[in-house]
């Protein structure tokens, strides 16, 4: 399946592409749901307690994206040694990815005996039942003998004392397997220093796939844990209510501190604080500036409600209405001038760009802005200039909206 970007979840084994329902080996929506869970909050990117997880989670989901695309495209019984080895290699990356995520989140995984027990108890391994390895341990054995590390392995606990096993190749598409009644048989040839004969360990490819899928679906545990972490943090944050008995400037400062603590965007609040404390150098601007400041004061209760309830989108909308108003009718160069004023009029910008921005202020001040404020670029601070430009846009927008209603 190539176009997985338009797929949606359909149980855990199917996806829908357009009008077609397609069964898949590993549903890509599982890792996407995990990716969304940790990306929907800034907590994992910035919080000291959790930000060590973020790089791992990003690496895991990016790697899962390519691995699962490959595995879903090669989920049929492999026909060549190369196909089988590639399938196991990509599967190992999926399993290791999930294992690392669970470990990072302190999720204890139960290592069960569900999939490979019959393979262990029967020929050619004939492992005694009380020594039968768990699924995870048996897969580790399969991985080591298939890749042969690079030629031998001696780690499994179910080996005889001092036993070393060697493997010359993996087995795929061998006609002899069908004679054993395994239509989807795959396996590995085994030599050992403890037995003289050659052993071919043959098993169903479908059993291997079922085990891999079971481990991949453990990502749902990680999804639940991430959501739990976020939920508990939000409960803690909601306990802190803004002190509304403070004066408006201190309330805004508290809002900024809270947003910063919660790793949310606070630039607009910081801008409002600067504007509210900005020194006014011309008396003729007082009336317009006070109208603008009153507009800010009027939305402070709603800002408090939004931050107390963790509704940051509402807070952004309220601030956006004040700070980023644009009249629907403006002169032709207005947007360009506003961009230069807001972006380049700061002390860290190079001199030539600052000077060009001041020229744009001069030009802007001679258009609709002069109805509302007087701007003297060379005599005013950058903050006062930006405040007056913002005031002019705010008041002009209000006036034009009233005209539209008439």
Q: 248-277, pLDDT tens digit by residue?
A: 999 999 999 999 999 999 999 999 999 999
CA dihedral 192, 130, 112, 94 (to 10 degrees): -10
List pLDDT tens digits, range 185-194: 899 888 887 8
Is-contact 345 385, C-beta < 8 A?
yes
Q: What is the pLDDT of residue 91?
A: 97
List pLDDT tens digits, range 224-245: 999 999 999 999 999 999 999 9
Is-contact 233 222, C-beta < 8 A?
no
What are residue 181's phi and psi, to 5 degrees?
Answer: 85, 15
* Per-residue pLDDT band at 21 (split at 50, 70, 90): low
* Per-residue pLDDT band at 201 (split at 50, 70, 90): confident
* Rounded Cα gap, residues 28 and 72, in angstroms: 9
Q: Is the pLDDT of residue 2 over 60?
A: no
Q: What is the pLDDT of residue 194?
A: 80
List pLDDT tens digits, range 92-117: 999 999 999 999 999 998 888 889 99
* Rounded Cα gap, residues 119 and 394, in angstroms: 75
* Per-residue pLDDT band at 389 (split at 50, 70, 90): very high
Q: Is the pLDDT of residue 290 over 90?
A: yes
Q: How far is CA 337 from CA 352, 361, 393, 395, in A?
A: 15, 7, 12, 18
- Smallest CA-to-CA distance from 30 within 2, 4, 3, 52 is with 4
Full-model pTM: 0.80
What are residue 20's phi and psi, to 5 degrees?
Answer: -100, 130
* Rounded Cα gap, residues 205 and 184, in angstroms: 6
Q: What angle do CA 152, 172, 158 make, to 5 degrees?
A: 40
Q: What is the pLDDT of residue 12?
A: 56
Is-contact 391 372, C-beta < 8 A?
yes
């Amino acid at each position: 399946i190539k176009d997985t970007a338009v797929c949606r979840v359909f149980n855990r084994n199917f996806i829908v592409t357009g009008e077609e329902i397609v069964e898949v080996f590993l549903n890509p929506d599982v890792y996407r749901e995990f990716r969304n869970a940790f990306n929907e909050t800034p907590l994992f990117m910035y919080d000291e307690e959790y930000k060590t997880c973020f790089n791992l989670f990003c690496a895991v989901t990016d790697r899962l994206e390519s691995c699962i695309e490959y595995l879903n495209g090669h989920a049929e019984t492999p026909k060549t040694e190369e196909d089988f080895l590639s399938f196991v290699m990509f599967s190992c990356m999926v399993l290791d990815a999930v294992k690392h995520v669970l470990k990072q989140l302190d999720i204890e995984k139960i290592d069960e005996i569900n999939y490979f027990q019959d393979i262990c108890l029967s020929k050619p391994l004939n492992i005694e039942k009380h020594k039968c390895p768990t699924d995870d341990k048996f897969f580790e054995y399969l991985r080591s003998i298939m890749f042969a590390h690079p030629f031998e392995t001696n780690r499994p606990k179910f080996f005889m004392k001092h036993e070393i096993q060697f493997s010359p190749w993996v087995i795929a598409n061998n006609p002899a397997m069908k004679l054993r009644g395994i239509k989807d048989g795959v396996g590995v040839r085994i030599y050992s220093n403890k037995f003289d004969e050659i052993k071919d360990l043959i098993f169903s490819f479908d059993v291997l796939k079922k085990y891999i899928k079971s481990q991949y679906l453990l990502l749902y545990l990680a999804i639940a844990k991430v959501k739990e972490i976020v939920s508990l943090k939000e409960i803690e944050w909601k306990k802190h209510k803004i002190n509304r008995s403070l004066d408006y400037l201190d309330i805004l400062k508290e809002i900024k501190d809270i947003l910063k603590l919660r790793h949310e965007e606070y630039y607009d609040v910081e801008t409002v604080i600067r504007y509210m404390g900005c020194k006014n150098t011309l008396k003729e601007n007082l009336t317009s500036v006070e109208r603008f400041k009153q507009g800010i004061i009027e939305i402070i209760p709603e800002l408090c409600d939004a931050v107390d309830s963790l509704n940051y989108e509402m807070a952004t909308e309220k601030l956006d209405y004040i700070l980023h108003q644009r009249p629907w009718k403006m002169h032709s160069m207005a947007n360009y001038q506003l961009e230069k004023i807001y972006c380049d009029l700061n002390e860290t910008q190079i001199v030539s760009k600052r000077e060009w921005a001041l020229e744009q202020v001069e030009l802007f001040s001679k258009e609709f802005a002069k109805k509302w404020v007087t701007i003297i670029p060379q005599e005013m601070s950058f903050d006062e200039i930006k405040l007056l430009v913002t005031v002019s846009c705010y008041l002009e927008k209000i006036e034009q909206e009233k005209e539209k209603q008439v």
